[in-house]
Structure 1
Amino acid sequence: MRRVSLMLIVVVLISACVKEARVTLPEEGSPFLVVSHLKDPALTFVDPHTYEVVQTVPLEEAWQKMIQVNDAYLWALQKQSGVLQQLAKKEGVLTPLTDVGSGFSDVAFSEERNRVYVADPKTGQVHRIDPQTKSLEVSIEVAGVPDELLLSGDDRLFVLDVSACKVSEIDLNKEAVTRTFTVEDRATGLFFDGQWLWIGGHGAIGELNKSVYAYDVRTGEQVAEVEVGLMPIATIASADGHSLYVVSHGDAHLYEIDREAQQVTRTVRVGQNPNYIYRRDGALYVSNVDSDSISIIDEATFTVKKEVPVAGGPHAMLMEEWHE
Structure 2
Amino acid sequence: MKRSIFIVLIGLIMSLSGCDEQHFNTPKTDDPFLIISHVKESTLTFVDINKKKVIFSEESRSPLSDMVNIGGGKVIATSQSEDFLMLFDMNERISRPLLKLNQGLTAIHYEPTLHLLFVADIMKDKIHIIDVDKEEVIKSMKVGSFPTDLQVANGTLFVLNGDSNDVTVIDIKQQKVVAAFPVLERPAGMYVDGDYLWIGGHGSFGNLNKSVFVYSLKTGKFVEEIDVGLMPVAFFGDDYSPFLYVVCHGDHAVYKVHKETKEIIDSVEVGQNPNYISGNEEGLFVTNLDSDTVSFIDRDSFELVEELRVPAGPYAIVLEE
TM-score (normalised: structure 1): 0.89
SS of the counterpart of 2:169?
strand
Cα distance in 2 for partners of 1:77, 1:286 equals 20
Name segments (4+ residues, structure 1) moved above 6 Å.
none
Q: Which amino acid aligns with 2:110?
A: F
Cα distance in 1 for partners of 2:121, 2:49 equals 35
Cα distance in 1 for partners of 2:311, 2:259 equals 35
Cα distance in 2 for partners of 1:241, 1:156 equals 24
Q: Which residue of 1 aligns with 2:100?
A: 99
SS of the counterpart of 1:316?
strand
Q: Which residue of 2 aligns with 1:9?
A: none
**More divergent stretch after superposition (68-77 vs 199-208):** 68-77
**More divergent stretch after superposition (169-178 vs 73-82):** 73-82
Whether the 8 Å CA contact 2:27–2:55 is kept in 1: the answer is: yes
Change (3 A) 1:219 1:110: same
1:41 correspondence with 2:42: yes
Cα distance in 2 for partners of 1:63, 1:163 equals 21
Spell out, residue by residue over 1:208-234, the C-alpha distance to the aligned partner (whole angstroms, 9 max, x if none): 111111011222221111111111100
Cα distance in 2 for partners of 1:124, 1:56 equals 33
Q: Which residue of 2 aligns with 1:266?
A: 266
Q: Which residue of 1 aligns with 2:247?
A: 247
- Cα shift at 1:122: 3.6
Q: Which residue of 2 aligns with 1:232?
A: 232
SS of the counterpart of 1:60?
coil
Change (3 A) 1:77 1:15: closer
- Cα RMSD, aligned residues only: 2.0
The higher radius of gyration belongs to 1
Q: Which residue of 1 aligns with 2:158?
A: 158
The 5-angstrom pairing of residues 72-87 of structure 1 reads: 72-81=73-82, 83-87=84-88
Q: Which amino acid aligns with 1:178?
A: V
The 5-angstrom pairing of residues 297-308 of structure 1 reads: 297-308=297-308
Cα distance in 2 for partners of 1:281, 1:15 equals 39
SS of the counterpart of 2:100?
helix
SS of the counterpart of 2:261?
coil
Q: Which residue of 2 aligns with 1:22?
A: 23
The 5-angstrom pairing of residues 1-324 of structure 1 reads: 16=17, 18-81=19-82, 83-142=84-143, 144-240=144-240, 242-321=242-321
Whether the 8 Å CA contact 2:79–2:104 is kept in 1: the answer is: no
Q: Which amino acid aligns with 1:119?
A: A
- Cα shift at 1:235: 1.1
Whether the 8 Å CA contact 1:252–1:273 is kept in 2: the answer is: yes
Change (3 A) 1:241 1:302: closer
- Cα shift at 1:14: 10
Q: Which amino acid aligns with 1:299?
A: R
- Cα shift at 1:145: 2.5
Cα distance in 1 for partners of 2:111, 2:64 equals 20
Cα distance in 1 for partners of 2:139, 2:300 equals 43
Change (3 A) 1:16 1:47: closer
Q: Which amino acid aligns with 1:108?
A: H
**More divergent stretch after superposition (291-300 vs 14-23):** 14-23
Q: Which amino acid aligns with 1:297?
A: I
Whether the 8 Å CA contact 1:238–1:245 is kept in 2: the answer is: no
Change (3 A) 1:260 1:140: same
Change (3 A) 1:157 1:280: same
- Cα shift at 1:101: 3.9
Change (3 A) 1:128 1:17: farther
